[in-house]
Structure 1
Amino acid sequence: MPRVALIVNPFASAVDEHRIKFVEEALARAADVATHLTERRGHATELARLVSDDVDAIFVYSGDGGFNEVVNGLGPDAPPLGCIPGGGTSVFPRGLGISRDPVTATEQLVEAFDQRRTRRISIGRVNGRRFLFNAGLLFDAELVRRIEAQRSHAGRPGDVAFAATLLKFIAEQRGRFDPVLEIDGVGRAAFVLVANADPYTFLGSIAVHVAPEATHEAGLYAIAPTRVRPRHIPQMCRYVVTGRRRPRSVLAVQDVDRLEVRCDRPLPLQVDGEDLGDVESAVFEAERKALSVLV
């Protein structure tokens, strides 16, 4: 009988004992299941390295942070990955067409495992850290940091808190963001958002389209406003909601394998919603067809 590993973040917002048991029972219909609960930051990476050579698939029941940790522990010959949404947003599985509901998603992924239905996708990497769908310098990284600071025992704040944090951040800057970094071969910009999938993220049920052309099979896509003033904000909002009519003040890079950025001062960096601290430079790279996922 096939063997699978189930890596669970028990602290994720949509994870509880009842749902873990359901996931285990659903997987047990198709394979022998070994469940591993994460205990600390980085633990999922360690677990992925430990189990990847001994199983036919790895299932992860977590939020995007857990998915990111697992993919950072997988080698080139790793078994297929099945991501069950257990976070408040769960951008990665939703972007692959997996149901947002953990129960429905589990049934969908068990069927994919039974039928060996996989998809080979590209992933990103910045300064050695892999990412599954997005990475950013300054703007979204600052938001991630502020949201993380509001985390409680119940998990990260929800969409209302995120919107309030966003508005407060823009208000503090008076809607003005000046150039503070240089993208090699592209130019100076106020911040940079890098995607290897669309949507970039979700705000509730609303998809945010930073790079609507991006696909999981291609390289990296990026947008970088040269500068932002209050009059630009409505244009930017329309663009990220509709994915159409990118403002002229926004630089764009499409389907590249490498992007180098130098900062005027240390700036916050995030990947898949995880704060990586401040950096003075960032090298974004694409790993094409690096990961097999169940869909």
Structure 2
Amino acid sequence: MYRRARLIYNPTAGREMFVRQLPRILERLERAGLETSCHATREPGQATIAARQASERGFDVVIAAGGDGTVHEVVTGISQGPHRPILGVLPCGTTNDFARGMGLPRDLLRACDVIGDGFVRTVDAGRVGDRLFVNVAAVGDVTAVTYEAPSRLKTLVGPLAYYLKGLEKIGSLSRSFPVRIEADGRQWEEDILLMMVANTRSVGGFEQLAPKADLNDGKLDVIVVRKTGIADLIPLVRIARKGGHIYDPSVVYFQARYLYVESDEPLRWNLDGELGGILPGICEALPGHLRVFCPRPAVKDRTEPDETVLV
């Protein structure tokens, strides 16, 4: 029996590679039993509207094709009504952190096969105020790099766009700010450079930035970088590629289900690379909020009763 799927895609993602492969992608999905229609986004916010409309129209599956920003918008859209379709992801963005966290292949046709196989995991999301995130909520000047890097530049040069934008802001990366944090009953104050609340291990292309993160443990992983100078920050970035930063004395790393964060400065949340409001704010885990197509695990690795959706 065919199941109805809505494919929402960013035509500029992945250096416009997705559009070139779209006919083959649709053929692959149809062959797997998914009756698929498409919606191309043209500006920020359209993926959320399209995903909400797909949910209201009773689509069984909504597929986000793009980067983490597209996934963020689609998840926001499918979460706004009583019917929540299963989420599929075709990763073709700049860093694809959520897709990495789910173990999805970067090859788009292989990612279609993951959806067609029908294995579904229940995974957590996070919430700041009334807004969701699936990968990371962050506070600090460096987080502005993600939404200030022009989309056309990301299309042309990929992840290098973030590094180029980061070089422009290098002088402000050492500017600290005071925060007061309450996490699962623990409270403290500190001057920090950056705070990230991660749902997945991969953040900003760093595959072990939150090395203990688990997408279905009902917890968020919190990384706080204390006030330090650029001379100390640069080697910290280097060891962060393998997860060694969590043992550095300038880093606080812990897990929590709930956080309250405030500051005397008007700091902005960054949610999955998008603007997410001003502090203060409550950040909390939403256990089992989403059902997502993912690669089928080896039998020896199965520890929970995930579902297989027949298409």
User: TM over 0.5: same fold?
Assistant: yes
CA contact (8 A) 1:6 1:60 kept: yes
What residue number does 1:70 align with? 74
Gap change, CA 1:232 and 1:289, over 3 Å in 2: same
What residue number does 1:253 align with? 254
Query: Among residues 134, 141, 144, which one is paired with 1:142 in the alignment?
Result: 144
What residue number does 2:100 align with? 94
What residue number does 2:302 align with? none
CA distance in 2, matches of 1:153, 1:167: 15
What residue number does 2:177 align with? 179
Q: 1:119-138 to 2 correspondence within 5 Å?
A: 119-138=121-140
- The one-letter code matched in structure 2 to 1:92 is F
Give me the TM-score of the superposition, normalised by structure 1. Answer: 0.86
Deviations 1:224-280 (A, max 9, x none): 1221123422452244111125211222231x2211111221123211122336x23
Aligned-residue RMSD, C-alpha: 2.3
Query: How many residue pairs align between the two structures?
Result: 281
Q: 1:22-171 to 2 correspondence within 5 Å?
A: 22-29=24-31, 30-53=33-56, 54-75=58-79, 77-111=83-117, 113=118, 117-147=119-149, 150-152=150-152, 155=155, 157-170=157-170
- The one-letter code matched in structure 2 to 1:47 is A
- The one-letter code matched in structure 1 to 2:13 is A
Q: 1:36: how far off?
A: 1.9
- The one-letter code matched in structure 2 to 1:187 is E
Gap change, CA 1:151 and 1:27, over 3 Å in 2: closer
Gap change, CA 1:37 and 1:178, over 3 Å in 2: closer
* Paired-residue identity, %: 27
Q: SS state of the match for residue 270, structure 1? A: strand
What residue number does 2:303 align with? none
What residue number does 2:273 align with? 273
Q: SS state of the match for residue 73, structure 1? A: helix
Gap change, CA 1:142 and 1:180, over 3 Å in 2: farther
Deviations 1:55-107 (A, max 9, x none): 22211212211110010012364121110012122221122111112222122
What residue number does 1:230 align with? 230
- The one-letter code matched in structure 1 to 2:164 is A
Q: 1:134: how far off?
A: 0.9
CA contact (8 A) 1:220 1:285 kept: yes
Long gaps (5+) in structure 1: none
- The one-letter code matched in structure 2 to 1:286 is A
Long gaps (5+) in structure 2: 295-311
CA contact (8 A) 1:62 1:85 kept: yes
- The one-letter code matched in structure 1 to 2:4 is R
Gap change, CA 1:58 and 1:161, over 3 Å in 2: closer
Worse-matched range after superposition: 177-186 or 256-265: 177-186
